[in-house]
């Protein structure tokens, strides 16, 4: 299964989401690789201390590294270039669009969804950095996105200092510790929200596969290659 995390806005937790959904599947004993396709290489930096539960590889090394993986999560390079988007769609089974409750982020997700609607690829928005004191704005964001026929995951990722602490330490949020070296008391809410998100994604991919037996979202015919591989 190939999952790409994508979005056009900086700082919408693309890297954080890639790391945590990949980690969620790793914990379920799946063979997962996180591919860093972003030129800023922040996923690679996040995983550099070797404390994440799955390997992180830069895109240039991905072909070989992902051979044995069951799930490949890609931290995508932000782009609105048609050709790049088409290639990205072709290489993915699902696209995750992390979105904050800010109007600019919602607008960009709507724009992206309109581009993605040209293809037969399942995608969904994931609300991130949701302030627990402002759940109403998250409800409003969900309604707005759904008004454009965009699937919004039920899981919402809370705004937590634990995420920044985790990134500094190079660990996932369930292992976040504060400045005093104590476990962050809210760390598990963040972790469980991402675990729920990865389960929802898996379900959406499976539903889409059942309803659309054609594997290639653009319609490229891979059967000659598959026949050669099977021979």
Ligand X SMILES: Nc1ncnc2c1ncn2[C@@H]1O[C@H](COP(=O)(O)OP(=O)(O)OP(=O)(O)O)[C@@H](O)[C@H]1O
Q: Which residues bind ligand X (CB under 6 A)?
A: 10-16, 38, 40, 42, 128-129, 157, 159-160, 163-164, 167
Q: How far is the CB of 80 from ligand X (least distance, A)?
A: 14
Q: How far apart are CA 41 and CA 84, in angstroms?
A: 18
Q: Which of Mg ion, ligand X, none does 157 bind, CB closer than 5 to 8 A by kind? A: ligand X
Q: Which is nearer to Mg ion, 36 or 202 (CB)?
A: 36
Q: How far apart are CA 74 and CA 204, in angstroms?
A: 17
Residue 16's CB: how many other CB atoms inside 10 A?
27
Q: Does 14 bind Mg ion (CB under 5 A)?
A: yes
Q: Which of ligand X, Mg ion, none does 159 bind, CB closer than 5 to 8 A by kind? A: ligand X
Q: Which is nearer to ligand X, 116 or 128 (CB)?
A: 128
Q: Which is nearer to ligand X, 20 or 217 (CB)?
A: 20
- Rounded to 5 degrees, φ, ψ at 192 are -65, -35
Q: Which stretch binds Mg ion (CB under 5 A): 41-49, 104-112, 157-165, 190-198?
A: 41-49
Q: Which of Mg ion, ligand X, none does 167 bind, CB closer than 5 to 8 A by kind? A: ligand X
Q: Which is nearer to Mg ion, 5 or 142 (CB)?
A: 5
Q: How far apart are CA 227 and CA 231, in angstroms?
A: 6
Q: Does 15 bind Mg ion (CB under 5 A)?
A: yes
The long-range contacts involving 141-144, CB below 8 angstroms and separated by at least 24 positions, are 141/99, 141/101, 141/106, 144/106
Helix (H) or strand (E) segment spanning residue 135: helix 135-147
């Amino acid at each position: 299964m190939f999952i790409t995390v994508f979005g056009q806005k900086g700082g919408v937790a693309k890297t954080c989401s890639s790391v945590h959904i990949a980690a969620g599947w790793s914990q379920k004993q799946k063979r997962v690789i996180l591919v860093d396709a972003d030129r800023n290489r922040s996923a690679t930096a996040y995983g550099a201390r070797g404390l994440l539960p799955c390997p992180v590889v830069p895109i240039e090394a991905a072909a070989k590294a992902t051979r044995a993986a069951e799930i490949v999560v890609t931290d995508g390079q932000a782009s609105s270039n048609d050709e790049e988007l088409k290639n990205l769609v072709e290489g993915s089974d699902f696209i995750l669009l992390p979105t904050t409750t800010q109007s600019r982020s919602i607008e960009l997700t709507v724009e992206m969804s309109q581009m993605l609607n040209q293809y037969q690829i399942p995608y969904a928005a994931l609300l991130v950095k949701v302030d627990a004191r402002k759940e109403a704005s998250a409800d409003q964001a969900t309604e707005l996105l759904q008004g454009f026929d965009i699937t919004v995951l039920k899981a919402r990722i809370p705004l937590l200092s634990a995420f920044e602490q985790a990134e500094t330490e190079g660990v996932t949020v369930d292992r976040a510790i504060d400045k005093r070296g104590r476990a962050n008391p809210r760390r598990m809410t963040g972790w469980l929200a991402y675990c729920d998100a990865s389960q929802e994604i898996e379900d959406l991919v499976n539903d889409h596969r059942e309803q659309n037996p054609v594997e290639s979202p653009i319609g490229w015919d891979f059967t000659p290659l598959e026949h050669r591989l099977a021979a």
